[in-house]
Structure formats: structure tokens, C-alpha cells
Amino acid sequence: MSKKENDSQSPDLEKIKKIRLQSGNNFHCKVLNHLRREIKKDTGETRQPLDTLVSPYYLDGFTNKPRELDIVAYKGNYNYETNKQAVAMLFIECKFVTKPTVFWFDKIDRDKANALIEGSSFAKNGSDYNNRHHYLKTENVSKLFQSEKASGTDTDPIFKATNQCLNATVSLMGMHSTKLRNYSDRSQIVMNYPVVVVNNFDNFYRVNMDDEEKAEPQKIEDNFLLEVDYSYRDKSGTPVSKYFLVDIVSFEKLEDFIGDIQVDIYIATDPQ
């Protein structure tokens, strides 16, 4: 085959470049590479890489359709003094957000939040562990949101990302990992975290649910929680309703979030 004929059958390189540049996989890979990286902190400490699973596919038990999640990440801690081990499973959906989004905040349901924490720790109600867990370090959480929709789309990008990570959380909880070993001589818990990581908070604003309509929306600067009562069917087909707190994390503050998780799993093995 002549070079001219071969060139005529080759894909347009500019089209290939455009596919790559416009793909959401670029941000996906950016988050993944950060999680896999060893991070030297200003304190002199080193944050070890997280174990990761890339784009696991699973069968949606409600629709019986295949789905995919961007990342499952694992972070573990073993306490030699208490002989207890805690593993955090982070079910992460990555979303590159370019449109303005407003979040409505209200007081966190502390009873449900406490029950959620107790369901994945050795702690008891009212223990110091609950108060130190990052879920209860805030008084207010987002309960509503609205994004400016991109042309030609019907689904709110935050709704889509939240639903994807929650669907994956209930479907993939307890999946095998080298971090989830069966030790007969120690107590072990698995802590499940649904997470949405966005590129930044430049277009994120907040209002309070009891604000007057004329109140000025405020820029969101820090990672925050989205409170969701999520209904689904379990593996046996039984309807289930479960309370979740979804971490909404800016890539710029991803290390802050990982630090919160490290504290959660550390104190989970030694609740006071």
C-alpha cells in the first residue's frame, strides 16, 4: 500500500486530539494520579498512596443495567494496642463543573448522622469519637441544589454525580480488596464514604434555607456535605431507605479531605 493510500485511511489526528481534550477522563485521571501519589506535607509527615480501583463496572440492582464508577479508593489503619482495624472505602465520582451551582444549607440531622457513624465504627452514641468524626464537625449541610444546565442536557450534573456515587456505594459495599483481609485474630470494620470530587468551587454558591429570597448567595470556599435520604433495592430486591452524607470535595482541597478520612479511621480503632 502506498503512503498516500495509507494516509487516506488513517484517522484524522486533530479529531483524535479533540476527543482526548474534551473527555472527562482527563479530570478523572488527575484525581486518580493524586490519590496514588505519595504526598510530602508541610509538617514533614508523608501521606502514603491510597490503593485504588479504576472504573469498576457493576450491575444496578434496581434497573438491572450495567453501571460504572470512576474510582474506588481504600485507606486503612491497624491499631496494634487495641487489635482493631478500620478500612475506609471511598466511592468517588469525578465531575468537571463549569456552570454556576447554588446549594441550600440547613442544620444537619445529628441523630441520623450519629447513627450513620455508629454503624461503621466501634464507637457508641455520645462517644468522643462521634464528635471528632468529620461528619459532625459542621452544623450545616447542603440539602438542595440547582445548577445552570448546559445546552442540550436535562440532568443536573451534581444530581447525576451524586446518584452515581450513591448507587455504586450501595452496590459495591464490601467488595474484595487487599485492604479487606479476613483476620481471625482482630476486629475489623469497613467505613463507606460516597464522594463527589469537582475541579474547583469557583462556580459554587450557598444560601441558607431560612434566608429571605433577596439574601445574597455566598461563595463556597471549603469542602462540605450533602445530606441525602436514598431509597433503593438491596440484592434480595427488598426496598431499603438509608441516610447518607456525601462529601463534596474540591480537587484543590482533596488533601484536606484525605486528612479528615485519616483521622476518622485512626480514631475509629481507638474510640474513647
Residue 185, pLDDT > 70, answer: no
Torsion of CA 264, 267, 271, 272, to 10 degrees: -120
pLDDT over threshold 80, residue 165: yes
* CB-CB contact of 241 with 229 (8 Å): yes
Rg (CA), the chain: 21
| pLDDT exceeds 70 at position 90 | yes
Q: What is the DSSP string of 186-253?
A: SEEEEEEEEEEEES-STTEEEEETTS-TTSPPEE--S-EEEEEEEEEE-TTS-EEEEEEEEEEEEGGG
The rounded percent of the chain whose pLDDT value lies above 70 is 83
pTM: 0.87
Q: Total structural domains in the chain?
A: 1
In the chain, count of helices (H) and strands (E)?
7, 14
Contacts of 267 (CB under 8 A, 6+ apart): 129, 132, 133
Residue 122 clears pLDDT 70, i.e. is over it: no
- 253: containing domain: 3-268
pLDDT digits (tens, 9 = 90+) for 93-112: 999 998 999 999 999 999 99
Mean pLDDT score, 27-37: 94
Does 3 or 147 have the greater pLDDT score? 147
Q: Compute the average pLDDT of residues 11-28.
A: 79
Give the mean model confidence (pLDDT) for residues 121-129: 59
Average pLDDT over residues 28-32: 95
Residue 141 cell numbers, joined: 449541610
